[in-house]
Amino acid sequence: MDQDTKRNIKLGLFVVLGIIVFIFGIFLVGAKSGLFTKSFTVYAVFKNTSGLKPGANIRFDGVKVGTVKSVTIMNDSSIRVDMNIDESKREFITKSAVASITSDGLMGDELVNITAGAYGSPLAENGDRISSRQPMDMDNMIAKFSGTSSNINAITENLKNLTDNLNTKNGSIQSLFKDTTMAINLQQTLANLKTMSEVYTQEGNDLRRTTNELTHGNGVLNKLVNDPTLSNNLSETISKLKETSDKLGTIADQATVTMQHANSGNGPLNTVLTDTGMANNIKATIANLKRSTVLLNEDLTAAQHNFLLRGYFKNKPADGQK
């Protein structure tokens, strides 16, 4: 066999081997990307796809079920992601399923993860839209983290200044904590406040107990305030005392008139009253009666203004009424 024939045979074997490898590679890539697998298509709409590319994996609770077919911008706030799902996994993809964009690990490529929907929801059909959960915006997270880091630095600096002030011998905070006199005064003040609180509490309890006894008790004071029969009796007694006082005043006035007539006449009564000693005694008696009447009226007036009897006089019927 000549050299040309050997060379052609080797070239032919190399080409055939290359074609076999090429076909094997196509099948391998096709199997990985699902090109030769029967599938159906669903889609979801996101505001931000976070760098998701066609051919990215689609997982259902962590298990690969398909690949991303296309990523299309619909408008300035909506991006449509079409997904090819293996037909063999159709039973897990329902109309209420939710798609979200995540990373394959900490620094891995972006992929779509689908979570199960409501139990009993119908299965998704070819071309159906499923719900979506917006991905985390890493730029915003980094910006927020930067702001938080600045705040932490400021707080740390303030804590450092506070600690330095506390450790300084002449610092105001150290004076507050280490001044023995101030500490004793503060303790005494707190003790006094506690004592005053206990006293006020005790007084409040006493007042509450007195009020309860006055309102619900059976003592004399409760009867005076709440017993209508006793109130009426007391009111009637005071009215009779006042009536007696008025009568005494009338008698005193009549006695005065009688004395005036006796002093100006010549009858037997004048003769009796001419006796100076007897006249002085009668005048003294009349003066005592007037004085007693005035005092009795003052006592009645004071009784009417007393806080225990004030309610009874308010409830007392007006003169001429029953």
Q: What is the DSSP string of 243-258?
A: HHHHHHHHHHHHHHHH
Mean pLDDT is highest, among 213-222, 228-237, 281-290, for: 281-290
Q: Which token pair is 203?
A: 């007084």
In angstroms, the CA 117 to CA 124 distance is 11
Q: Which token pair is 30?
A: 């096709």
* Mean pLDDT on 173-202: 74
Report the pLDDT value the prediction gives residue 9, as an integer from 0 to 100: 81
Q: Confidence band (pLDDT; 50, 70, 90) for 71? A: very high
Please enumerate in sequence order all residues whose Cβ is within 8 A of that of 183, keeping only pairs 6 or more positions apart, or say none.
none
- What are the strands of the beta sheet with 98-103, ordered from one edge? 128-129, 39-46, 78-86, 63-75, 57-60, 110-115, 98-103, 131-133
Q: Which of 61-75, 84-98, 156-170, 297-311 has the lowest mean pLDDT?
A: 297-311
Report the pLDDT value the prediction gives residue 322, as an integer from 0 to 100: 46
Q: Confidence band (pLDDT; 50, 70, 90) for 153? A: confident
* Mean pLDDT on 124-150: 78
Closest CA to 290 of 238, 259, 240, 254: 254
* Residue 73 in this model has a pLDDT that exceeds 50: yes
* Mean pLDDT on 292-300: 70
* Residue 315 in this model has a pLDDT that exceeds 70: no
In angstroms, the CA 24 to CA 38 distance is 19
* Residue 82 in this model has a pLDDT that exceeds 90: yes
Match 């959960």 to its residue by tokens: 133
Q: Which of 113-117, 158-162, 164-168, 190-194 has the lowest mean pLDDT?
A: 164-168
Q: Which token pair is 77?
A: 């706030």
SS3 270: helix
Residue 225 in contact with residue 308, Cβ under 8 Å? Answer: yes
Beta bridge partners of 82: 43, 70
Phi then psi dihedrals of residue 110, to 5 deg = -75, 145
Q: Which of 66-75, 195-204, 290-299, 303-312 has the lowest mean pLDDT?
A: 303-312
Report the pLDDT value the prediction gives residue 285, as an integer from 0 to 100: 77
pTM reported for the whole predicted model: 0.38
* Residue 84 in this model has a pLDDT that exceeds 60: yes
Q: Which residue has the higher pLDDT, 289 or 115?
A: 115
